[in-house]
A = this chain, B = another copy of it.
Amino acid sequence: MTQGEATQFRTLCEQAGLAVTHQRQVIYEVLCSIEGHPSPEEVYARVKRSIPSVSLATVYKNLHLFINSGIFEQVSLHHGSMRVETNQTRHHHLLCTSCKTIHDIDPEVLGLPEVPRELPGGFRMERLAVDVLGICARCQAREAAEPGTIQ
């Protein structure tokens, strides 16, 4: 990690109210350097190269801290278990990042245009899944009433 990156990391920790530990710094460094969309196990394996004694629990705890602090994001919000789409009409989703609820939304409301079926690289599109991430009205009201409760 360069000096600039280390400084940036310290700033991020300060803003998030997190202590600057060696493990945390290596996890951050691994995330920055890794290509793709790593799972906790993959991050753990890489961190282990620098810190053989690191535990998987520490990786999980720090990933959650990073995500809750907005330092990193998840690829798509996880609900712990699989969810089946029972609404057979074409629609997209409003996903509240605070209370994790999913609401359906009509594609018209978003006003998205048609996307080409054939994309660069030869990928053939079959369906567009749009998640609108944000804060639902209920959580906005809750946040206004009790500031600091939104994660």
Contacts and interface: CB of A to CB of B under 8 A. Distances in A.
A60 B82 CA distance: 10
Q: How large is the interface on A (under 10, 10 to 19, 20 to 34, 35 or more residues)?
A: 35 or more
A74 B83 contact: yes
Number of copies: 2
Contact of A135 (B31, B32, B105, B126): B126
A38 B37 CA distance: 26
A16 interface: no
Interface in A92-132: 93-94, 96-97, 102-103, 105, 109-113, 115, 119-132
Given A76-B131, A129-B130, A129-B133, A84 B37 contact: yes
B111 A111 contact: no
